């Protein structure tokens, strides 16, 4: 614990420094697959934590983050989100395509203009959900409120337009606008009476929450997706945005470590930034361990994992946790080899101009995590 306390006091766990390590490591873990970069936020009592993460194995590995006190200081939300995107994309390889996803809390003219600027130098695409109260400029130059485009939408109906995000008479670059409501699809194991009752109760709580905020019309539009996307068509835009919900499992995982309780006691935003850096690094390690364990072919390792569940539906985070804490099987040699491979992935390239050479080595950070 003393070693961890010493490392937390150092700046190399802050997002500004660690982001570059995590992006490189995450891209190596993804391999040649398409990179999905998801922006979202989670509330930890007195703090709002914004994250940008790369989707891997049904979870999202945080690679950049920013923090605001809650309630949010006036005029800080949008600049904070734009700065987070700029910081991550500034480290992004110029030859690696990426698709950014964001929920309806983030749309702003500043964000769309920032993304359009990055698209000039990076192979970047985005799909961002709009609010019912947002305005768009249609192809015929007419300004339309999203709520008007949402009226009359029924389940299974999708409409597409060419439009641009508009705010106070100014608009961004025109792109694809998809508006509709999909047919809910659930896996077979979640179609029982208890699961259906749980979903109904959740929907009822959501309606009560919206009405408590004075949003009387919100329940009618809450389940309608309005996606402003650079995807080539409606199907691709909807498929990409549906991946955004992977981040919710990641937030549950992090909070299961007690992140919320720890954040509530923090008064120093810089110290909290470094704590989240340590959590992000530990999360990446545990997720990699889980992913590698799921691909293990050794007989005893496979047999042991089959005892954890009857269906083998395990997230990479939970599987990694089981490996690290398992006492019924000796994982030490396998775990040592896996962590050594991860350290190699995090290792900076040998280059005199590489700024990571000025930072502590990745092995020090891995040891602390």
In angstroms, the CA 77 to CA 245 distance is 21
User: Residue 337 belongs to what domain range?
Assistant: 269-368
| Same-domain check for residues 233 and 305 | no
Q: Write down how long the chain is.
A: 369
Task: Quote the pTM value.
Answer: 0.86
| Same-domain check for residues 207 and 331 | no
Question: In degrees, to the nearest 5, what angle opens at C-alpha 210 toward C-alphas 220 and 44?
Answer: 135
| Same-domain check for residues 129 and 209 | no
Q: Regarding predicted confidence, which is higher, 189 or 253?
A: 253
| Same-domain check for residues 328 and 359 | yes
| Same-domain check for residues 25 and 162 | yes
Task: Single out the residue in 202, 223, 244 at which a domain terminates.
Answer: 223
Return the CATH number at 14: 3.90.350
| Same-domain check for residues 285 and 318 | yes
pLDDT per residue as tens digits for the range 317-368: 888 898 888 888 888 888 888 888 778 766 666 544 444 433 444 454 444 4
| Same-domain check for residues 43 and 69 | yes
| Same-domain check for residues 348 and 234 | no
What's the rounded mean pLDDT across residues 205-212?
83
Number of structural domains in the chain: 3
| Same-domain check for residues 246 and 322 | no
pLDDT per residue as tens digits for the range 230-250: 999 999 999 999 999 999 999
pLDDT at residue 1, as a whole number: 56
| Same-domain check for residues 123 and 231 | yes
| Same-domain check for residues 41 and 101 | yes
| Same-domain check for residues 273 and 152 | no
Q: How many CB atoms lie within 10 A of CB 234?
A: 18
Contact 306, 319 (CB under 8 A): no
Contacts of 158 (CB under 8 A, 6+ apart): 178, 179, 180, 182, 234, 238
């Amino acid at each position: 614990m003393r070693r961890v306390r010493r490392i937390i006091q150092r700046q190399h766990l802050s997002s500004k420094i660690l982001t570059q390590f995590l992006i490189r490591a995450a891209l190596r873990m993804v391999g040649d697959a398409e990179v999905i970069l998801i922006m979202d936020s989670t509330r930890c009592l007195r703090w709002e934590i914004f994250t940008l993460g790369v989707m891997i194995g049904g979870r999202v590995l945080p690679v950049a983050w920013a923090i605001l006190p809650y309630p949010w200081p006036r005029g800080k939300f949008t600049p904070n989100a734009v700065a987070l995107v700029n910081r991550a994309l500034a480290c992004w390889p110029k030859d690696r395509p990426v698709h950014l996803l964001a929920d309806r809390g983030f749309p702003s003219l500043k964000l769309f203009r920032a993304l359009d600027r990055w698209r000039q130098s990076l192979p970047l695409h985005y799909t961002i959900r709009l609010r019912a109260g947002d305005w768009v400029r249609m192809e015929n130059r007419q300004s339309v409120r999203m709520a008007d485009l949402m009226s009359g939408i029924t389940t299974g109906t999708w409409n597409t337009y060419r439009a641009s995000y508009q705010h106070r008479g100014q608009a961004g670059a025109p792109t694809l606008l998809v508006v509709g409501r999909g047919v809910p699809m659930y896996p077979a194991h979640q179609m029982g009476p208890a699961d259906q009752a749980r979903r109904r109760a959740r929907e009822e709580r959501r309606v009560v929450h919206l009405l408590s905020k004075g949003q009387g019309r919100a329940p009618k539009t809450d389940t309608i997706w309005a996606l402003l996307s650079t995807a080539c068509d409606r199907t691709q835009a909807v498929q990409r945005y549906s991946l955004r919900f992977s981040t919710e499992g990641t937030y549950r995982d992090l909070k299961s470590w007690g992140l919320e309780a720890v954040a509530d006691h923090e008064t120093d935003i810089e110290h909290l930034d470094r704590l989240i850096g340590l959590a992000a690094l530990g999360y990446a390690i545990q997720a990699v361990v889980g992913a590698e364990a799921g691909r293990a072919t050794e007989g005893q390792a496979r047999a042991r994992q089959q005892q954890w569940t009857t269906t083998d539906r395990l997230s990479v985070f939970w599987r990694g946790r089981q490996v690290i804490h398992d006492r019924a099987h000796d994982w030490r040699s396998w775990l040592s080899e896996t962590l050594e491979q991860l350290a190699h992935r995090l290792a900076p390239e040998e280059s005199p101009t590489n700024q990571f050479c000025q930072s502590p080595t990745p092995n020090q950070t891995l040891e602390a995590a």
